[in-house]
Structure 1
Amino acid sequence: MSAERDAATPARIRVARGERIYAQGETTRVLYRADTGLIRLYQVTPRGRTVTLRHVLPGDYFGEDSLVAPGQTPLPHRYSAEALTSASLYVYDPAALSERELLDLSRSMGQQLRRAMLHEVHLQSGDLKHRVVRYLLELSDTPLGSEDADNRLYVRATHELLAEGSGSTRESVSKVVTDLRDAGLVETGYRHITLLDLSALRELAGLDLLSDTETAHPGPGPTRNLT
């Protein structure tokens, strides 16, 4: 393999759950693509409130602030990136992207924009209970969602995470989750919420969340030899 080919080969790294990949305001010169796991992009407002902007699923690129013209300095990141689960990432030199990777990048950013717009619609529609249920359903279709031994769908999420993704506070979200539990719609445990009645939860959400999201979301495989 030529030296030029070696220089262009993306590195593969692993990050632990809760690990911050980069911080809002930092400048980096690399582009990332998620291979496994779930990444959250979020901003901290001037008042100290954390707001989830979008989720990065396997196959998605992120860190797009590093995409600048040759000779220019990358822009400071407008948001932080945090691993919500353990994850593996590919790390690219933006200047060395192949034509296929550039096409994958543009397709990925378009898909993420659609998901971010749908999430914003959900934030603007209905009361807090509707927003929390929609966000739970959204998270259930990510690596945070899984099934227990009884084939019941559950989401690994804290009340704080739900608050940051539904535009509310942890205290208000805790009350909503308690109401849902008392109604027999969910079951709560340590850092996870089991969805007991999906039909009722979808009806309560008021929107068919799965109509516009990438449910399977197959990411492109590595386009270069990583060995």
Structure 2
Amino acid sequence: MTHALDPAALRGLRLFAGLDEPALADVAAGAQTRRVARGSRVFAQGDPADACHALIDGRIKIVQTGPDGQQIVVRFIGPGEMFGTVPMFTGGGYPGDAVAMADCVALLWPAPAMTALMLRHPRIGLNALGIVGGRLQEIQNRLREVSTERVERRIAHALLRLVRQAGRRIEGGVEIAFPLSRQDVAEMTGTTLHTVSRILSGWEGQGIIESGRLQVTIRKPSALLAIAEDLPQAEEDGGS
């Protein structure tokens, strides 16, 4: 069902950056709103990629399952981000499950509607290329990390990416504003839950991070960056 959407809701979406008010109204007119309960899937791995999605509220993770049943977390999606867009243009299926980590509000545009919007507003296509390029660079960086870096550096890089994506400054550090389990971190970095637990517990003992149930706070960002970049660690005040 198509719902009336305020075009202002689209202003934070990179795919529609630079569009004027009439163009945003045109985009909003073709959007469908969907509410997704925590733990439910927006789409499943292998489903036909027949729509472009955007997250307005909530948190989503993209999880890919291999033939052996092993899972990896491909990406976390926060409010204002597009997802499931690239497969729509390749003619294949979705490469992973999009799982709601909290109650979510998402938008979607069926493939024919998005194609028509791109023809009417070429800026959308240019923005899409920028998004795809950024995602490709991130994937290349993660592949290099898995292939060449020791596990401590991979985990540090993963946490720093999440800080850049969803970091929230709080007293005494930076909180990652995602429900994040140690299993999620293991799946992001190509290692085991045991290894992640050992490393994160060690960092907690050093005061670099603080973790609770599905929550991670970086107490010493410079120390974490030093681990990620293999630099000597300097003394750091926890609030810096």
8 Å CA contact 1:147, 1:154 repeated in 2:
yes
The residue aligned with 1:90 is 107
Distance in 1, matches of 2:27 and 2:158, equals: 42
2:82 to 52, 60, 69: 60
User: 1:125 aligned to 2:148?
Assistant: yes
1:60 is displaced (CA, Å) by: 2.6
Higher helix share: 2
Deviations 1:178-214 (A, max 9, x none): 1111222112222112211111110111179xxxxxx
- Identity, in percent, stands at 21
Q: Which residue identity is paired with 1:59?
A: E
1:76 to 75, 93, 98: 93
The residue aligned with 1:48 is 69
User: 1:189 aligned to 2:212?
Assistant: yes
1:179 to 202, 205, 218: 202
Please, which moves more after superposition, 45-54 or 34-43? 34-43
Over the aligned positions, Cα root-mean-square deviation in angstroms equals: 2.7
The residue aligned with 1:108 is 131
Distance in 2, matches of 1:87 and 1:109, equals: 23
Distance in 1, matches of 2:63 and 2:154, equals: 18
**TM-score, normalization by structure 2:** 0.71
**TM-score, normalization by structure 1:** 0.74
Corresponding residue SS for 1:142? helix
1:24 to 45, 62, 71: 45
What pairs with 1:132-143 in structure 2 (closer than 5 Å)? 132-143=155-166
**What residue ranges of structure 2 are gaps of 5+ in the alignment?**
1-25, 232-240
**What residue ranges of structure 1 are gaps of 5+ in the alignment?**
69-73, 209-227
1:154 to 175, 185, 189: 175
1:28 is displaced (CA, Å) by: 4.5
